[in-house]
Amino acid sequence: MEQSATMQDEDVIDGHHAVHYVNRVGWLRAAVLGANDGIVSTASLLTGIAASGAARDTILLSGIAALVAGAMSMAAGEYVSVSAQSDTERADLAKEKKALAQQPHVEWQELRDIYVDRGLTAELAGQVATQLMNVDALAAHARDELGISDISTARPVQAALTSAATFSVGAIAPVLAAVASPGHAIAAVALVSLLCLAVLGYVGARLGGGGIARAVARVVFWGVFAMLATSGVGKLFGAAI
């Protein structure tokens, strides 16, 4: 009972919901992806290089190169992919705007039918469709027909900057661990990276409202898998990757 009351206090202010988790989807996805990739890819690279018997300077240089290249790659990848989504949204909105101008009654029927499928009577659905289209027909169709809203709208720059920044933060930890413990680089990198992944899983679950244990378990599992794979490659070939 005490825990439930605490959770309600966190989510509700003055009788109203303060923040919905879905409002964070845009930047949270990019942040978790960037941080996770920064930790896993850099740690995996470093463990593979350390397992090959490379010198400390080589490990350090490789870690720094991985950090810079990875951050730039994440920024470019997010910007390009989310821009493609944004282009698609704009194209659909342009088609919808043209349809509204050429056949408004057909578009009204489409909107009415959507509300009927959601449980309204045909009469009430027609009234709702009429009123919403009188206010902003394109916004009504974008939201209810196309599923485009302010929450889901693609934001390429935000995604790119968020991913690049969180990748850099995530990548720093394994690099510092490798430098601080040159004689035990593999163990140090693995320990620090798994700890960071566990923290990332916890924070991501808290911000997104998901299950904490499941979130932590999945990021740690894939981190372990990636580091074991690259360590095996490093030992097998006995050369810096």
Label residue 47 by pLDDT band (50, 70, 90): confident
pLDDT for the residue numbered 5? 43
Question: Which of the two residues, 232 and 67, has the higher pLDDT score?
Answer: 67
Say yes or no to pLDDT of 48 above 90.
no
pLDDT tens column, 78-92: 899 888 888 888 898
pLDDT for the residue numbered 94? 93
Say yes or no to pLDDT of 234 above 70.
no
SS3 readout for the chain: CHHHHHHHHHHEECCEECCCHHHHHHHHHHHHHHHHHHHHHHHHHHHHHHHCCCCHHHHHHHHHHHHHHHHHHHHHHHHHHHHHHHHHHHHHHHHHHHHHHHCHHHHHHHHHHHHHHCCCCHHHHHHHHHHHHHHHHHHHHHHHCCCCCCCCCCCHHHHHHHHHHHHHHHHHHHHHHHHHCHHHHHHHHHHHHHHHHHHHHHHHHHHHCCCHHHHHHHHHHHHHHHHHHHHHHHHHHCCCC
pLDDT for the residue numbered 210? 77
pLDDT for the residue numbered 9? 44
pLDDT for the residue numbered 24? 56
Q: Give the mean model confidence (pLDDT) for residues 191-206.
A: 87
Lowest mean pLDDT among 25-29, 167-171, 192-196: 25-29
Label residue 18 by pLDDT band (50, 70, 90): low
pLDDT tens column, 129-185: 999 999 999 989 988 888 887 666 667 888 888 889 999 999 999 998 888 887 788
Instruction: Note the pTM of the prediction, 2 decimals.
Output: 0.66
Label residue 227 by pLDDT band (50, 70, 90): confident
